[in-house]
């Protein structure tokens, strides 16, 4: 691929000069930091940091925990986002626009603000608990923040649009003739969905899941605030290594491991996509 | 059950005889279709205005009309994708007016084929069988059978996108008939094919339809296609059926100006009745009408088909004679078309087989043309 890029006419005839600033920008601010990170992780010239990051129960536990939380978030986003995307793609224009606005306004709001918002709503004395207590549905306040539940709620809220948009895109492109054809051939509503509609939205499902999962793996603010120190995800761990222990080398190794795992997951999902969707 | 419709004899040739036994397992449950007084209203416009129609078992009926004439709406109502505001649809003896499409047992071939892109050819064809809970082994046999019938035995594992347009078309057809539908609907299925392939597919569809004795309704705006394929044609105009009949009768004896203009090329003139069987058209030209068609006093017009015109020499006579000047000569291959401006000011088109070229007509030459009494057709001018 690189070869064909270099050999391409565009590259040689100078018309790509316009892209040069961007290339320099990327080289200085993206490639170089990653190279430095990579080098730092081998501090001392051995794999000591990596051995600790991968084989130490504590750090491996955090990594697994991170992946699990990311998987939960992706799954919840899919279950919640699929019907939302379906509604947006099929509702009459007014309602579709209204729905999109409801989805976009939080999307444009700072994560920090939204996370504090959730702390107010979900806290011991928060709106939800007050309401449930007043209605007599519970006797003691529910623990909704400073645990995994809180982290999941906050992360799902932030990441839901990333699931909805790819789904919305494939649903909007759906050829309604295919659904009519399935129905005409004798399929019930459920069969039309199961055999035709859902399989045809799979590219959107995988795109959304990949996006949400990958973004979840590196999440920092939400687990930091809503986890209340009880939920440790990789990004938190890395930050602590830097700010509290000044252990740049180990932090770098943790970062590289996280980066590699993220890339592997991304690749794996891509392979699934390729195997399952030769038709698209 | 009504008796089986006996299709007109056409030049259906080829290898269809070879695999007739295979056909026994697909498409043999045809029923006749009756549409009675169907009305469909969209806001203030009537898309369908009291449509009555019967299609016999084994018959291929074409619904022909320009876009906006209501033909697609009618097809959707028959398929069940839309419901009429009034009237009934009967399939066999059963009233299916409000039956959902999934329960109608009607096979349909869509304009863009609507093959499921994520399923292989075999899975596409098996789909309607699986929906009917046909056992796995029977399903496999019938799919294989259908693939043989459409001459695509080795293609079961391909995806639709790996097929050519003509092949996709055939798969769509196989999928629509594999479950022995009571009726087959074809919604402009040849639009995306090039001319050669289209003609080939038209014949193939006709063959399959006759061989399986399918009741079929074919929707198109292409009059040529309609003439080639149909047992009968229903010409639609603004939500009504203007005329229904065999291709020949619709072409040779159109009832009104719309049908005459829509099917084939035509010279159409409003006419006033004179005495007996004569009428005058613009410019005072007198036209002799066929005796059988002398109308009661009403608004009439005459249709002069271009290919029925005769070129007249100085001593020749015809029942209706026109003189004028050749404006334009259009070479069409098998025939030549002449645009002639008459001395009275109107324009007519005449068309003759190619060897007429040898007469050496040039633009601006004067020419006398005539139509025999029986080659003139009287139409309703309203």
- CB-based contact, B27 to chain A, within 8 Å: no
Dihedral, CA atoms, B349, B355, B356, B358, nearest 10 degrees?
A: 140
- CB-based contact, B250 to chain A, within 8 Å: no
- State the Cα–Cα distance between residues B17 and B7, nearest whole angstrom: 17
Q: Which residue of B has its CA nearest to A276?
A: B118
Distances (CA, A) of B120 to A177, A183, A239, B126, B311: 18, 18, 51, 10, 59
Of B81, B118, B132, the CB nearest to A180: B81
Indicate whether A7 pLDDT > 50: no
Task: Report CB contact under 8 Å: A279, B161.
Answer: yes
Model pLDDT, residue A228: 84
- B349, β-bridge pairs: B339
pLDDT in tens, A114-144: 999 999 999 988 999 999 999 988 888 888 9
Tokens at B380, concatenated: 């309703």
Model pLDDT, residue B7: 47
pLDDT band at A279 (very low <50, low <70, confident <90, very high): confident
Model pLDDT, residue B284: 81
- CB-based contact, B190 to chain A, within 8 Å: no
Task: Report CB contact under 8 Å: B131, A191.
Answer: yes
pLDDT band at A13 (very low <50, low <70, confident <90, very high): low
In 10 A of CB A79, how many CB atoms? 11
- State the Cα–Cα distance between residues B327 and B341, nearest whole angstrom: 6
- CB-based contact, B42 to chain A, within 8 Å: no
In 10 A of CB B118, how many CB atoms? 21
Distances (CA, A) of B356 to B267, B331, B350: 20, 11, 11
Greater pLDDT, B122 or A22: B122
What region, left, alpha or beta, does residue B17 occupy, with left being phi > 0 and alpha being psi -120 to 50 degrees?
alpha
Domain boundaries, chain A: 57-116+143-276
Task: Report CB contact under 8 Å: A180, B112.
Answer: no
A positions 170-209 inside 8 Å of B (CB): 175, 177-178, 180-188, 191, 195-196, 199-200, 202
- CB-based contact, B133 to chain A, within 8 Å: no
Q: Residue B105: its chain A contacts at CB < 8 A?
A: 186
Q: Residue B161: its chain A contacts at CB < 8 A?
A: 279
Q: Residue A186: its chain B contacts at CB < 8 A?
A: 102-103, 105, 128, 131-132, 179
Model pLDDT, residue A6: 44
CATH for A57-116+143-276 is 1.10.3720.10
Average pLDDT, chain A: 88
Note the ipTM here. Answer: 0.81
Closest CA of chain A from B94, distance in Å: 18
Of A184, A191, A277, the CB nearest to B101: A184
Domain boundaries, chain B: 15-252, 265-380
Q: Which residue of B has its CA nearest to A185?
A: B128
C-alpha count within 13 angstroms, C-beta hemisphere, residue B86: 11
Q: Residue B80: its chain A contacts at CB < 8 A?
A: 184
Percentages of chain B per state (helix, strand, coil), in multiples of 5: 30, 30, 35
Q: What is the pLDDT along chain B (382 residues), one digit of tens a residue?
A: 344 454 444 433 333 333 344 444 454 578 899 999 999 999 888 899 999 999 999 999 999 999 889 999 999 999 999 999 999 999 999 999 999 999 999 999 998 899 999 999 999 999 999 999 999 999 999 999 999 988 899 999 999 999 998 899 999 999 999 999 999 999 998 887 888 888 888 998 998 898 888 999 999 999 999 999 999 999 999 999 999 999 999 999 999 999 999 998 999 998 888 877 888 888 888 888 887 776 666 688 899 999 999 888 888 888 888 999 999 999 888 899 999 999 998 999 999 988 766 778 888 889 999 999 889 898 888 7
CATH for B265-380 is 2.40.50.100
Model pLDDT, residue B109: 94
pLDDT band at A5 (very low <50, low <70, confident <90, very high): very low
Closest CA of chain B from A89, distance in Å: 20
Identify the three-state secondary structure at position B67.
coil
Indicate the helix (H) or strand (E) that contains B331: strand B320-331
Task: Report CB contact under 8 Å: B116, A180.
Answer: no
Closest CA of chain B from A121, distance in Å: 44
Contact B181, B106 (CB under 8 A): yes
Task: Report CB contact under 8 Å: A184, B117.
Answer: no
Q: Which residue of A has its CA nearest to B161?
A: A279
Closest CA of chain B from A279, distance in Å: 5
Q: Residue A190: its chain B contacts at CB < 8 A?
A: none
Of the residues A174, A180, A185, A197, the best mutation for testing chain B's interface (the one with the most B CB atoms within 10 Å of its CB) is A185
Q: Which residue of B has its CA nearest to A180?
A: B81
Task: Report CB contact under 8 Å: A177, B112.
Answer: yes
Q: Residue B81: its chain A contacts at CB < 8 A?
A: 180, 183-184
Closest CA of chain B from A275, distance in Å: 12
Model pLDDT, residue A15: 60
Q: Residue B103: its chain A contacts at CB < 8 A?
A: 186
Model pLDDT, residue B18: 37
CATH superfamily of the domain spanning B15-252: P-loop containing nucleotide triphosphate hydrolases (3.40.50.300)
Q: Which of B240, B239, B243 is nearest to B45 (CA)?
A: B239
């Amino acid at each position: 691929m690189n070869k064909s890029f270099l050999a391409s006419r565009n590259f040689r005839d100078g018309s790509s000069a316009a892209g040069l600033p961007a290339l320099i920008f990327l080289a200085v601010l993206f490639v170089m930091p990653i190279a430095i990170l990579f080098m730092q992780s081998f501090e001392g010239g051995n794999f000591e940091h990596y051995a600790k990051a991968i084989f130490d129960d504590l750090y491996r536990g955090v990594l697994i925990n991170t992946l699990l939380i990311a998987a939960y978030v992706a799954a919840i986003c899919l279950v919640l986002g699929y019907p939302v995307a379906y509604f947006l793609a099929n509702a009459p224009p007014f309602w579709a626009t209204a729905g999109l606005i409801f989805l976009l306004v939080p999307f444009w709001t700072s994560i920090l603000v939204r996370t504090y918002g959730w702390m107010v709503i979900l806290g011991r004395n928060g709106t939800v608990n007050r309401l449930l207590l007043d209605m007599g549905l519970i006797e003691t306040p529910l623990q909704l923040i400073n645990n995994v539940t809180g982290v999941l709620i906050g992360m799902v809220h932030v990441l839901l649009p990333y699931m909805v948009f790819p789904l919305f895109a494939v649903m909007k492109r759906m050829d309604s003739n295919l659904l009519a054809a399935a129905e005409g051939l004798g399929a019930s509503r459920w069969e039309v969905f199961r055999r035709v509609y859902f399989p045809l939205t799979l590219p959107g499902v995988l795109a959304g899941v990949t996006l949400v999962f990958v973004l979840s793996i590196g999440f920092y603010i939400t687990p930091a605030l809503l986890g209340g120190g009880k939920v440790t995800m990789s990004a938190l761990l890395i930050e602590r290594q830097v700010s509290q222990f000044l252990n740049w080398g180990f932090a770098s190794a943790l970062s590289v491991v996280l980066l590699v795992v993220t890339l592997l997951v991304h690749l794996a999902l891509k392979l699934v996509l390729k195997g399952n969707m030769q038709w698209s | 059950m009504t008796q089986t419709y006996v299709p007109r004899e056409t030049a259906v040739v080829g290898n269809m005889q070879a695999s007739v036994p295979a056909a026994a397992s697909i498409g043999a449950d045809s029923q006749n279709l009756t549409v009675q007084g169907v009305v469909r209203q969209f806001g203030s416009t009537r898309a369908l205005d009291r449509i009555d129609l019967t299609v016999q078992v084994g018959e291929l009926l074409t619904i022909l009309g320009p876009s906006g004439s209501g033909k697609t709406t009618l097809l959707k109502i028959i398929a069940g994708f839309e419901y009429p505001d009034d009237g009934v649809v009967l399939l066999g003896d059963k009233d299916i007016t409000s039956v959902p499409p999934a329960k109608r047992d009607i096979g349909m071939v869509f304009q863009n084929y609507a093959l499921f892109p994520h399923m292989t050819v075999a899975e596409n064809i098996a789909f309607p069988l699986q929906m009917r809970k046909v056992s796995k082994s029977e399903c496999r046999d019938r799919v294989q059978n259908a693939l043989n019938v459409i001459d695509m035995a080795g293609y079961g594992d391909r995806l639709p996108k790996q097929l050519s347009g003509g092949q996709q078309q055939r798969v769509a057809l196989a999928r629509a008939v594999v479950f022995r539908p009571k009726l087959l609907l074809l919604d402009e299925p040849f639009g995306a094919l090039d001319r050669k392939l289209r003609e080939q597919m038209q014949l193939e569809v006709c063959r399959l339809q006759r061989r399986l004795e399918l009741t079929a309704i074919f929707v198109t705006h292409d009059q040529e296609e309609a003439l080639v394929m149909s047992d009968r044609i229903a010409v639609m105009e603004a939500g009504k059926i203007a005329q229904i009949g065999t291709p020949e009768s619709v072409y040779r004896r159109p009832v009104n100006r719309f049908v005459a203009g829509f099917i084939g090329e035509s010279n159409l003139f409003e006419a006033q009745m004179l005495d007996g069987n004569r009428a005058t058209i613009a410019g005072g030209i007198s036209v002799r009408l066929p005796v059988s068609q002398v109308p009661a006093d009403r608004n009439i017009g005459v249709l002069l088909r271009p290919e029925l015109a005769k070129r007249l020499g100085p001593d020749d006579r015809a029942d209706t004679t026109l003189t004028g000047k050749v404006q334009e000569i259009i070479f069409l291959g098998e025939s030549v078309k002449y645009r002639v401006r008459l001395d009275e000011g109107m324009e007519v088109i005449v068309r003759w087989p190619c060897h007429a070229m040898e007469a050496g007509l040039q633009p601006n030459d004067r020419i006398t043309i005539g139509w025999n009494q029986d080659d003139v057709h009287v139409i309703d001018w309203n």
